[in-house]
Amino acid sequence: MRYVKLGHSGLDVSALCLGTVTYAPPARSGRSWTLDEEASRLLIRQALEQGINFFDCANIYAKGACEEILGRALRDFAQRDEVVITSKVFNPMRSGPNSKGLSRKAIMQECDHSLKRLGTDYIDLYEIHRWDSETPIEETLEALHDLVKMGKVRYLGASSMFAWQFSKALQIQKYERWSRFIVMQNHLNLIYREEEREMLALCAEEGVAVTPWSPLARGRLARPVEAAKASIRGADDSYSEFLYAATEHADNAVIQVVQQVAAARDVPMAQVALAWLYTRPAVRSVVMGATRGQHLTDALGALHIALTSDEITALDAPYIPHTIVEHD
């Protein structure tokens, strides 16, 4: 395993971060492709055994079930001081007022709820899941800073927003001497590269680590075009359709190049797609999901692949501009 500093901080994390959105019984997640607790625990344990110390979660994942499963597994299989846990806040956890967003009330109450579900007294990295246009950003940032000073949170991060929004937040934090974001967890992969326009350069300049979500485009970059819906998730994932259906034809050209590069190297397609991400500015750790042990093995193999300039040029070439998604 390779370990890296997370942004302009002293925090050491594995260059692979295990995402846990698939770790919840289908009855609680409402999705046919998520795993029950026994299967989830097995993969979390395998990740630990292979050197992964970085685990990503969010309160909204199966309305807390993922946090519960991750917390129990880490208590059984790891030393708390040796792992880095991420959780997030923004999305509605129930109906009614103050049930969502980034108000001081919502942040404080949802952090406490996440701590209880995770079974820990602090969260290593607490991220705002989206930008809240209905709450003054100063209120949000001061509440996050207070969580750090209270010891409930160690570091702060953000996810999926416009570069101008993130820049504004960073400058307010600097001016007020509040705890700063050290991570931008954004949507970035070979078939969605809109973050390259402004966000990656901003993060590189500000010393913020980029930790992409959906690095394999919900599995699309891990298998040939004709097998896009061969998996249970591929056949039943409405969110994937929302993200990629509109650009499917153009994306297929990229996927075919990934397949060609992987075939020439005799490695899985997933390794090529992940290796490409590490060539992007400020990318330090990649948030990848795993529903089988082989997924972890493939991801680990990507850390040992150094793509040539010709391969990178070939992988970059078919991309066309996409409509920005998930910034609202």
- With respect to residue 99, please indicate whether it lies within any of the assigned structural domains: yes
- With respect to residue 298, please indicate whether it lies within any of the assigned structural domains: no
- The mean of the pLDDT values for the chain is 94
Catalytic residue (choose from 23, 61, 126, 244): 61
Q: What mean pLDDT is predicted for residues 257-271?
A: 97
For residue 120, pLDDT over 90 is answered with: yes
- With respect to residue 184, please indicate whether it lies within any of the assigned structural domains: yes
User: Cα separation of 66 and 267, whole Å?
Assistant: 31
The pLDDT > 90 percentage for the chain reads: 88
Strands 3-5 and 12-14: antiparallel
C-alpha dist (Å) from residue 84 to 13, 63, 70, 80: 7, 21, 12, 8
Per-residue pLDDT reduced to its tens digit, 72-83? 999 999 999 999
Total of domains in the chain: 1
The pLDDT > 70 percentage for the chain reads: 96
Residues forming beta bridges with residue 13, ordered by sequence position? 4
Angle 278-228-46 from CA coordinates, rounded to 5°: 55
Q: What mean pLDDT is predicted for residues 262-266?
A: 98
Q: What mean pLDDT is predicted for residues 274-285?
A: 97
Residue 22's pLDDT is 95
Question: In 26-112, where do the E strands start and end?
Answer: 54-56, 84-89
For residue 232, pLDDT over 90 is answered with: no
Q: What mean pLDDT is predicted for residues 302-320?
A: 97
- With respect to residue 34, please indicate whether it lies within any of the assigned structural domains: yes
Q: What mean pLDDT is predicted for residues 284-295?
A: 95
- With respect to residue 174, please indicate whether it lies within any of the assigned structural domains: yes
Angle 25-83-120 from CA coordinates, rounded to 5°: 65
Are 2 and 196 spatial neighbours (Cβ–Cβ below 8 Å)? Answer: no
User: Cα separation of 95 and 100, whole Å?
Assistant: 9
Domain coverage including residue 88 = 3-220+281-293
Residue 23 bears catalytic tag: no
Q: 293-298: which pairs have CB atoms within 8 A and are 24 or more residues apart? A: 293/42, 293/43, 293/46, 295/270, 296/43, 296/46, 296/47, 296/50, 296/52, 298/222, 298/268, 298/270, 298/271
> Domain holding 96: CATH number?
3.20.20.100
- With respect to residue 244, please indicate whether it lies within any of the assigned structural domains: no
- With respect to residue 160, please indicate whether it lies within any of the assigned structural domains: yes
**pLDDT-based confidence at 251, cuts 50/70/90?**
very high
For residue 55, pLDDT over 70 is answered with: yes
- With respect to residue 87, please indicate whether it lies within any of the assigned structural domains: yes
User: Scanning the structure block, which residue is given the tokens 């292979």?
Assistant: 50
